[in-house]
């Protein structure tokens, strides 16, 4: 044996190797293979679950976007309605203010006319009294004040009627 191999030692080592290989295959390879298969299955299931979660996330994201879009549209509609209501209320307030101002103007006009008429009546009375007083002094006798007052007022009304025509 030129290589320094002894056949009995070689066969003993070969048998020991095969026994060790058999023990490792039976005791180590199958459980390790089973453990690796289980791990691979768990990883695969996790990947499938992650994919399902991703798809669910995408569906939820689309649904949320739709809800946001719908909410924006509803918000714009509410804003539009509020603007219209605000404009309408503003116009109603302006109209109410116009009516109130017209009422005040009308009331003031009536009051001014009443005061003017009163002032004219007061002036007529003073004029009548002054005319009667002057006539009394001119004639130097007492006149019937009521009778003359009626005559003077009648004359004043006639002269006012002529002016207005």
In a domain, 145, yes or no: yes
In a domain, 3, yes or no: no
Query: At CB < 8 A and 24+ separation, what contacts does 67-75 make?
Result: none
In a domain, 2, yes or no: no
Q: What is the 3-state secondary structure (H, E, C) of 6-63?
A: CHHHHHHHHHHHHHHHHHHHHHHHHHHHHHHHHHHHHHHHHHHHHHHHHHHHHHHHHH
What's the mean pLDDT in 88-105? 93
In a domain, 93, yes or no: yes
What is the rounded distance in angstroms from the CA atom of residue 48 to the CA atom of residue 42?
Answer: 10
Boundaries of domain holding 33: 8-164
Residue pointed to by tokens 């203010």 = 97
In a domain, 1, yes or no: no
Contact 10, 3 (CB under 8 A): no
What's the mean pLDDT in 61-65? 95
Percent of the chain with pLDDT over 70: 88
On average, the pLDDT of the chain sits at 85
Higher pLDDT pick, 115 / 124 = 115
Per the structure, the count of domains in the chain is 1
What is the rounded distance in angstroms from the CA atom of residue 122 to the CA atom of residue 116?
Answer: 10
Residue 163 has pLDDT above 70, yes or no: no
Residue pLDDT, tens place only, 9-50: 889 999 999 999 888 888 888 788 888 999 999 999 999 999
């Amino acid at each position: 044996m030129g290589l320094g191999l002894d056949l009995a030692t070689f066969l003993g080592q070969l048998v020991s190797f095969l026994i060790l290989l058999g023990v490792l295959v039976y005791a180590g390879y199958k459980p390790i293979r089973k453990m690796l298969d289980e791990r691979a299955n768990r990883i695969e299931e996790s990947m499938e679950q992650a994919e399902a979660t991703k798809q669910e996330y995408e569906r939820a994201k689309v649904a949320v976007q739709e809800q946001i879009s719908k909410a924006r549209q509803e918000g714009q509609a509410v804003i539009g309605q509020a603007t219209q209501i605000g404009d309408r209320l503003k116009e109603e307030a302006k109209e109410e203010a116009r009516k109130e101002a017209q009422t005040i103007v009308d009331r003031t006009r009536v009051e001014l006319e009443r005061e003017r008429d009163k002032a004219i009546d007061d002036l007529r009375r003073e004029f009548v009294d002054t005319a009667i007083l002057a006539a009394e002094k001119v004639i130097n006798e007492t006149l019937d004040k009521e009778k003359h007052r009626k005559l003077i007022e009648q004359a004043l009304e006639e002269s006012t009627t002529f002016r207005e025509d």
